[in-house]
Structure 1
């Protein structure tokens, strides 16, 4: 039974809303920085890590900018801009450092239980796209963070890298691929569970089947949370006080900020996007593919719409995943309410939401079309990657819900913003993470942003302690090739990610 905390008792130093990878990462860092602080976690579901962090609710890609086309772009003069890919890669290197430190400290278990080496590939079709990928590779492979990337437009070579991509493919079709063997597959659900398992032994209270239904500010500047406990069919409401509140609860985070009534959330809305994947467990098929292969998303669609054919390693077993097939769903969480989106509409975000919808009608039509697409059409999309795919080998599964940020914009009225963003009150007493990909892969960097915004007076004290976990914090690996290579080699060794050729 959770502790019966009543209003008026000494408040927690920190309350975390949501039991996913964001809250787990923040709790791990705070316990390292301030071991005496009292921390409580409130999760709506019976288990932690069961929403977007769950293994089969995401693609498990350790996003490092190795294969995602949306992290690079072509400038008007024909040059290739890789700045975003470099930034994402640097963030993932911090993630690897934190995980390696936690493995060495015995906080996380054997690395293969949550992360495994997996080549990351990009696949394109058509002469123009082949030419773009070749030029993209020339620029990226010239940077030390991507020096392991290889390019080929030869069918036999691509077939050696990933046989499913070329088997039964029509002769003469222009295709090309890049491959980087330093990529990884991550089970974020397992990672989250292992973090919380350790936190329980560090006196972090983890309350499950508990939903935060309301927030209000106390006279002393702390927050009072109204929490519903659900046990054995009963629902008990209790009040909990906290000096600092963090919502790492996916789309639910917007609802938390709105309940808190902070002015910083004005103008923000969310576009919830559902996702489904085709999954294959047939060993004869699975053994012919060992890579995460990303293609090009339709113009104007969210990053999560990039089609990809992935090898997944979950509970030590391999399977294949293809998708996502995105669609419109009003829920902010997979196990949320169909009233989530309508209930989030406020006077201050009506204009941004309306403007965003008006400017993104092709995206909305695409999402609707994917919802209504027949299984035959879904298989046709898969066969663009794996021409020999047999429908009998693939079953449809429903992934986690994603909520893309909509925010006010002086020029357009409202824009759809991809990625993640930290929204915090002016006094730093409450914060939340909004948005989606590449969130889980860059959770440490996002959480560091939360710490910097909400605890600025601790920054000088905390940074040396943070470097104990992430030694290159504050140093640009993009500008220090020697340090980058040393750091990547060390974390690869600790996490079992040494580059290896498998074809």
Structure 2
């Protein structure tokens, strides 16, 4: 049996549903089919316990502002991510206005974002603040080394702390906590009511091949074991770690040389309601010297199912699965002739990462508490429990020198004719979903995106699209104030 579908999306997470929602806004007549191999959508990286829920806007994430060789702060990534997350908020606001998404507090809540450091890292944080606060994007950032002020922002940081210890923090009231799983389910419910959108759960795409101008996908129904083929003009592989093996099977030249390195995660989750109620912030620290960016510690207030929670982590781990509910054969089966050398080179160059992961796997809860005690000196093991988080696949690809390199970020790979796009990588992925999907649209729907009709619709959904908010303060204030008002978020005009 062979079915026809104009557009096929593989994977039922935040990426696929965002692309589906945008396409339905731009082209309501589009015929879209979405295939998810699990029993429901949003159960992997988009699931609320499987990610940090941070609306990544570089307000507190120190790995987005590295120190350059001359001692200055590199703000390039921070500025880009800040504006990219704003596009996500603008799209969610558009969806709220059109009743595509529900009450904002059901998926997005204001939670201040803080950076917190101790001892010899204090000068770095001060320089970061002085550099970032010159930009309109970060003008409202506050900085303090005063224990009393920091205690007002985050009381837990000062409980049991040596009053003579040197500490510093930055504070941004405009931070957010996001339930990406809730967004997925709300988009699913809205899209399911639209003509021309079909969702198939418990359906696994096992292979895909190009036939002329169309893709032929082999799909297995996991509930009864039956198989079918689906023809599509455009395919998006947005299945998290599951995208990588399908990208390899596609055989497109652009996929050659790519490898994937899986990394798991674990949280410490607070069990004590009194402690949880004292804290209302997302606080990011700085990774220890030699540790990878994925190890950045953070103490997170989360709103999960309408209830406040408190998490600390992540603690990294390693297994060979590309998905939390994947197969231990995922990683070994991904090694091919065209990517084996880049993967070997990346392995040689990242021996410290291997050592770090081994140490993380061997950590006891008692040793995990030592990291938490940097943030909360008074924290006790009895108040916390360990909980596994999601599984990520970091990208391995050739760098500018042609050597295999491990990448920490998100990347879209598209075929030369724009008929296939695949998403690889990790953070800040979910937060910058809308910007990523705009890139997919520009590469894969080029003629439509160049049309005045689509440009007008894009501007309606994303008022700041294509404009530098840094260079137009009036427009900056107008766009961000409107979005904040719709989403019930704090905003202070600059």
- For the superposition of Structure 1 and Structure 2, which TM-score range results when normalised by the shorter chain? over 0.9
How far is 1:100 from its partner? Answer: 0.4
Q: 1:200 corresponds to which residue?
A: 192
Q: Deviations over 1:174-206 (max 9, x none)?
A: 111101000000000001110111110113101
Q: Does 1:62 align with 2:68?
A: no
C-alpha RMSD of matched pairs (Å): 1.2
Contact kept, 8 Å, 1:90 with 1:478, in 2: the verdict is: no
2:151 to 147, 156, 159: 159
Question: 2:258, 2:290 → 1: CA distance?
Answer: 20
Shift in Å, 1:411: 2.3
Q: CA deviation at 1:147?
A: 1.2
Give the one of 40, 43, 53 matched to 2:36.
43
Q: Measure how far apart 1:354 and its partner are.
A: 0.3
Which residue of 231, 239, 246 corresponds with 1:241? Answer: 231
SS at structure 2 position matched to 1:156: helix
Mapping for residues 71-470 of structure 1, pairs under 5 Å: 71-127=64-120, 129-203=121-195, 204-218=197-211, 220-231=212-223, 234-299=224-289, 301-409=291-399, 411=401, 413-461=403-451, 462-470=454-462
1:494 pairs with 476, 486, 489, which one?
486
8 Å Cα contact 1:114/1:188 also seen in 2: yes
Deviation at 1:478, TM superposition (A): 2.3
Matched residue SS, 2:207: strand
User: When the two structures are aligned, how many residues end up with a matched partner?
Assistant: 489
| Whole-Å separation in 2 of the counterparts to 1:482 and 1:173 | 42
The whole-number CA distance in structure 2 between the counterparts of 1:275 and 1:365 is 16
The Cα of 1:282 is off from its aligned counterpart by 2.0
Deviations 1:316-360 (A, max 9, x none): 100100000001121110000001010100000000000001001
Structure 2 unaligned spans of 5+: none
Q: Distance in 1 between matches of 2:71 and 2:477?
A: 30
1:298 Cα deviation after fit: 3.1
Separation in 1, partners of 2:59, 2:148: 22
The 8 Å contact of residues 492 and 498 in structure 1, kept in 2 or not, is answered as yes
Structure 1 unaligned spans of 5+ = 1-5
Match status 1:481 vs 2:492: no
Q: Secondary structure at the match of 2:240?
A: coil
Structure 1, 402-411 or 285-294: larger mean CA deviation: 402-411
Instruction: Say whether the 8 Å CA contact 1:118–1:184 is kept in structure 2.
Output: yes
**Cα distance in 2 between the residues matched to 1:235 and 1:62:** 39
Q: Check conservation: 1:246, 1:432, Cα contact below 8 A.
A: yes
TM-score when normalising by structure 2: 0.97
| 2:100/2:190 contact within 8 Å kept | yes
What is the CA-CA distance between 1:456 and the residue it aligns to? 1.2
